Structure 1
Amino acid sequence: MVAVLKVLVLLGSGITAGVLFCVALSVVPTFLRLPPHRYIEVHRLIGRNYDPTMPITVLSGTVIDIALAVAEHRGTPRVLFGIAAGLLLGVSAVSHLANVPINRTVKSLPDGAVPDGWPDPRRRWRNWNLLRTGCAVAALGTNAAAVVLAG
């Protein structure tokens, strides 16, 4: 059972890191280059399929990391699984406390022209996304090290 959990935690943290890396590398630069009304339209389309898949993936990985930390008998892998759980929890926290509220605000805007004085959230959204991407990539690396060291 522990071997299955190790595969699942690598799969989950790999998907999380991969998706967020792709967003940082390709989606965010596209968002930044679009005129505001097109950005809002594209943001609505792109974000549609991330929920509930990504929250389930991230939180499942967190729970599995905690289970592996509890199940592991050796100190270093146990600590690494715990750190990876904390990093994935960080991904979730940044998503729910920063990126998701911005997403909701963008999606609530009416179609058409952007209102005068609209506070463009793209740079803030990018910065938060880079933070959660860094946490996700670090979680993947930490999980990989834990799995290797656990044997």
Structure 2
Amino acid sequence: MTAVLTAVLTVLALLAGGITAGVLFCVALSVVPTFLRLPADRYVEVHRLIGRNYDPTMPLTVLSGAVTDIVLAALGQRAAAQVLWGAAGALLLGVSCVSHLANVPLNRAVKALPEGPVPADWHDPRRRWRAWNLLRTGLAVAALAANAAAAVLAH
């Protein structure tokens, strides 16, 4: 039973880690450069549209991946795999922390702006948002690499 459970959890960990890294990589590669090129009022409009479907889905994906990794680390496989599963879980928790403590507050500030022209005293968050997104993207890619290595070493 443990072998089947481990196999199922390994697939789930790889899926969650791959989706997280893939989405954040895509955002870093395509969405952020687009955001930086838009005039402020268009940026606010587009940011509101793009965030609609990421917001409910990505926290669940990231946290379920972290929990899955931590469970795999606790199942007592080979020591190297346990360390890697634990590291992947910690890295995904780092993604979640960066998201909730940095990116999400900036997202909320953008979404709270009134419709129409951006206020004259508006502090453009795009460069800060990009920096935080690059950090969480790096953490997510490292988590995926740790997951892949753990999956190989576990067998």
- The two structures have a TM-score, normalised by structure 1, of 0.99
Work out whether residues 8 and 61 of structure 1, in 8 Å CA contact, stay in contact via their aligned partners in 2. yes
1:127 — aligned with what?
131
Distance in 1 of aligned mates of 2:46 and 2:77:
48
- Per-residue CA shift, 1:66-112, capped at 9, x if unaligned? 00000033110000000000000000000000000000000000111
Per the alignment, residue 4 of structure 1 pairs with 8
- Displacement of 1:119 in angstroms is 0.4
Q: Does 1:113 align with 2:117?
A: yes
| Matched ranges for 1:96-111 at <5 A | 96-111=100-115
Query: What is the total number of aligned residue pairs between the two structures?
Result: 151
Give structure 1 stretches of 5+ with no counterpart: none
Q: What are the residue-to-residue correspondences of 1:25-104 with 2, within 5 Å? A: 25-104=29-108
Post-superposition offset of 1:52 = 1.3
**Identical residues among aligned pairs (%):** 74
Q: What CA RMSD, in Å, does the superposition of the two structures yield over aligned residues?
A: 0.6
Alpha-carbon distance in 1 for matches of 2:113, 2:101: 20
CA contact (8 A) 1:24 1:133 kept: yes
**Contact 1:87-1:135 within 8 A present in 2 as well:** yes
Structure 2: gaps (5+ residues)? none
My pick for the range that moved more, 93-102 or 67-76, is 67-76
Give the Cα–Cα distance (whole angstroms) in 2 for the partners of residues 73 and 114 of structure 1. Answer: 54
Residues 24 and 126, structure 1, Cα contact 8 Å, conserved in 2: yes
Q: Is the 8 A contact 1:99 1:128 kept in 2?
A: yes
Any idea what the Cα deviations from partners look like across 1:27-85, whole Å, max 9, x if unmatched?
A: 00000000000000000000000121100000000000000000033110000000000
Q: Secondary structure at the match of 1:111?
A: coil
Matched residue SS, 1:119? coil
